[in-house]
Amino acid sequence: MLELIILFAAGAYVGWNIGANDAANCIGTSVGSGLLSYKRGISLVAAFVVLGALLQGHNVMKTIGKGIVTEQLPLAAVFAALISSGLFVTLATWFKLPVSTSQAIVGGVAGVGFSTGMDVNVSKLLTIGQIWVVCPFLTGLLAFLFYKLLSIPVRKIQRPELWDRVVGVLLVGSAAYVAFSLGANDVGNSVGPLANLGFPARWLALLGGGALAVGALTFGHRVTETVGSGITALDPLSASAAQLAAALGVHFFSILGIPVSTSQSVVGAVVGVGLVHGIRAIERRRVLEILGGWVATPTVAGLFSFGLYRLIALFL
């Protein structure tokens, strides 16, 4: 019984980390544009992330649970995977880096899979890796196109109060959609390893969604600063286009059961709208730092979980 309590606590810890790091993916652009307050935005995230987790979180949960390591993992291996990914994301959040929590948990699960000698679905890992590369380019292109399309009717509005109202609806609506997509995709990252043990998906989704919401409410402000204004300056229309593009990309892959990075999706989208104003509008140094984090995340999490399980196994 104590082992199960520890595992559920570890899953909640990972969910808290995801909420803390990825809250910025939902509202960073909105807060950065100045049209949505952080307090209002984070409340929106908490509500819709739980909704997304409950309604569509089961698809990615299956992939993390039995799609990467096809056998049932030992309890110690599940614990090692969760703690490895959680600690890495905590560190990244502290340094205000929007790393990929999807990459962290996929790396952690693959690491313990290799460490235990169980069957690891390498072809599934390669497929996920290819989609990780494609996703930010896809959302960047979508954001560029959405901005161009939205700007045509919106900029024809002559009355300032009507313009503010229309853009405000776009901004809040797109932020809610990103939060929903975050819950649908990333709840599987927080509790997917527990699904490997056969626990009911609905209860796991509730645990993971609640943990994501708490993480966003308690520690989500740090990375929000980076996404909101650290990459490129955003106006409300740019923020709406970026959020809509990111949400659409993440939601699409969630339906397919692919754990993609909301961080990559949003950063790709922010770069996409930034390119509307030219390459000089992009803080290239900040983008390179984020790219470095994306490369390091699955590698470090995988190696750490591999070594951590070997260490735990010595005492079992």
Of the pLDDT bands very low, low, confident and very high (cuts 50, 70, 90), residue 316 is confident
Q: What is the DSSP letter of 34?
A: T
Q: Which token pair is 222?
A: 């740090």
% helix, strand, coil for the chain, step of 5: 85, 0, 15
Q: What's the rounded mean pLDDT across residues 108-120?
A: 92
As a whole number of angstroms, the distance between CA 305 and CA 120 comes to 14
pLDDT tens digits for 168-224? Answer: 888 889 889 988 998 898 888 778 888 878 777 788 888 888 888 888 777 766 555
Residue 268: CB atoms within 10 Å: 25
As a whole number of angstroms, the distance between CA 67 and CA 76 comes to 19
From 24, 49, 59, 45, select the one nearest 180 (Cα to Cα). 49
Total residue count of the chain as it appears in this document:
316
Q: What's the rounded mean pLDDT across residues 77-100?
A: 80
The pLDDT of residue 139 is above 90: yes
As a whole number of angstroms, the distance between CA 25 and CA 278 comes to 23
120 by DSSP, 3-state: which?
Answer: strand
As a whole number of angstroms, the distance between CA 209 and CA 153 comes to 36
As a whole number of angstroms, the distance between CA 316 and CA 266 comes to 42
Side chain identity, residue 60: V
51 by DSSP, 3-state: which?
Answer: helix
The pLDDT of residue 277 is above 70: no
